[in-house]
């Protein structure tokens, strides 16, 4: 047997097997291309493992390729997704951590993409596009339970403060005082019954007095209406008298302004006539013939003769 040929064959066959394994591990000639996206979770990703499925509407569209803590904030976890080409990742897409059934195995669910939405692109400073995230149902329930427990704790503290020894003693004392008052009222039940009966009679008498006072009040109301009507009539009479006074005042003013000047002229003419009559009387007394023959011309006195031209 030629051991050299056998050795060469074994080496060639081993090399071929190693190359085949490496080729298959790398995907071979049909190696699939993936689109890489980042996501930052603000909560624990317990149960999420490498190669965990990434789903969109329940359909597997990729895998979780990397999981590591955020260097800037250890409270956050950075995930790297390898998604199938054509996965509808737009600016409205969000990633949510979900639990698969009762096994506790986690996966990532994508949602919120729109048909006409803009394609999500990488921003400055990041090697891949960053998909926004939302709190998972577990995180939301944990927050709600934490809030409820905090409120229960505060309520419990308040109840304990109310039920302190001092408040218990005060409450017991108040109950004792109430019991004493109740016994006192029970002991004076007959007196209270009599007082209530007297009060009932008093109310009945007041009701009858109110019924009798009704007609009196009605008559008073009618008298008040009559007085009001009389007052209105007096007001109307006063208004008429005022108008009459105003009219008389207007007449007096008109008389003063128009008649007095005429009267003054008449008195002046009468005075002139009286002077003329007095002169006529004096002349008649001196010469009565003047009434029949008229007045003769008075002869000129000395020195009054006019020269003849």
Per-residue confidence at 129, pLDDT binned at 50, 70, 90? very high
Asked, for residue 93, whether it belongs to a domain, the answer is yes
**Which band of pLDDT confidence, cut at 50, 70 and 90, is reported for residue 29?**
very low
- Residue 101, domain extent: 32-134
**Three-state secondary-structure class, residue 8:** helix
Is residue 109 within 8 Å of residue 98, measured between CB atoms?
yes
Q: Residue 93: CB partners within 8 Å, gap ≥ 6? A: 110, 111, 112, 113, 117, 120, 131, 132
**pLDDT tier for residue 258 given thresholds of 50, 70 and 90:** low
Compute the mean pLDDT over every residue in the chain, rounded to the nearest whole number: 77
Measure the CA dihedral 133/134/139/140, to 10°.
170
Of 114-123, 142-151, 175-184, 299-308, minimum mean pLDDT range: 299-308
The pLDDT of residue 309 is 46
Least confident of 100-114, 206-220, 242-256, 278-292: 242-256
Asked whether residue 55 is assigned to any structural domain, the reply reads yes
- Would you state the pLDDT for residue 77? 92
Higher pLDDT, 225 or 112: 112
Higher pLDDT, residue 170 or 28:
170
Q: What beta strand segments (E) does 27-93 contain?
A: 35-41, 53-56, 59-69, 77-83
Residue 91 reports pLDDT greater than 50:
yes
Does some domain include residue 45?
yes
Q: pLDDT tens digits for 202-238?
A: 888 877 777 776 676 676 667 667 666 766 766 676 5
Share of the chain above pLDDT 70, in %: 72
Task: Measure the CA–CA gap between 91 and 89, rounded to whole angstroms.
Answer: 7
pLDDT value at residue 138: 82
Q: Is the pLDDT of residue 178 over 70?
A: yes
| pLDDT of the residue at 143 | 83
Dist CA 106 CA 100 (whole Å):
6
Confidence of residue 133 (pLDDT cuts 50, 70, 90): very high
Regarding predicted confidence, which is higher, 81 or 280?
A: 81
Is the pLDDT score of 250 beyond 70?
no
Residue/partner pairs of 69-75 with CB below 8 Å, 24 or more apart: 70/40, 75/42
Quote the number of domains for the chain: 1
pTM for the structure as a whole: 0.43
pLDDT above 70 (res 299) = no
Separation in Å, CA 176 to CA 28, 164, 185, 189: 93, 18, 14, 20
- Domain assignment of residue 214, yes or no: no
Judge whether residue 276 has pLDDT over 90.
no
The pLDDT of residue 66 is 92
Predicted confidence (pLDDT) at residue 10 exceeds the cutoff of 70: yes
Contact 136, 98 (CB under 8 A): yes
Within-domain flag for 68: yes
26 falls within a domain? no
- Tell me, yes or no, whether 48 lies in a domain: yes
Q: What is the pLDDT of residue 83?
A: 92
Q: Is residue 302 part of a domain?
A: no
Average pLDDT over residues 49-70: 91
Average pLDDT of span 142-154: 86
């Amino acid at each position: 047997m030629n051991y050299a040929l056998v050795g060469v064959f074994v080496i060639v066959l081993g090399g071929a097997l190693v190359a085949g394994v490496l080729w298959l591990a790398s995907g071979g000639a049909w190696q699939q291309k993936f689109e890489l996206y980042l996501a930052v979770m603000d909560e624990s990703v317990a149960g999420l493992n490498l190669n965990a499925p990434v789903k969109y509407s329940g359909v597997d569209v990729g895998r979780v390729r990397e999981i590591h803590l955020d260097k800037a904030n250890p409270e956050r976890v950075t995930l790297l997704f390898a998604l199938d080409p054509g996965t509808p990742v737009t600016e409205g897409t969000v990633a949510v951590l979900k639990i698969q059934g009762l096994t506790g195995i986690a996966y990532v669910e994508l949602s919120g993409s729109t048909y006409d939405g803009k394609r999500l692109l990488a921003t400055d400073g990041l090697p891949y596009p960053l998909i926004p995230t939302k709190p998972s149902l577990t995180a939301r329930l944990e927050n709600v339970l934490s809030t409820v427990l905090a409120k229960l704790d505060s309520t419990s503290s308040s109840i304990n403060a109310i039920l302190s020894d001092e408040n218990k003693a005060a409450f017991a004392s108040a109950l004792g005082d109430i019991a004493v008052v109740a016994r006192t009222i029970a002991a004076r039940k007959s007196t209270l019954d009599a007082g209530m009966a007297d009060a009932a009679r008093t109310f009945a008498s007041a009701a009858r007095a109110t019924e009798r006072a009704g007609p009196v009040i009605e008559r008073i109301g009618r008298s008040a209406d009559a007085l009001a009507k009389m007052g209105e009539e007096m007001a109307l009479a006063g208004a008429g008298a005022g108008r009459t006074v105003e009219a008389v005042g207007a007449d007096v003013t008109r008389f003063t302004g128009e008649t007095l000047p005429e009267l003054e002229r008449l008195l002046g003419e009468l005075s002139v006539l009286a002077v003329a009559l007095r002169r006529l009387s004096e002349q008649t007394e001196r010469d009565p013939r003047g009434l029949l023959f008229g007045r003769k011309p008075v002869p000129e006195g000395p020195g009054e003769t006019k020269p003849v031209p």
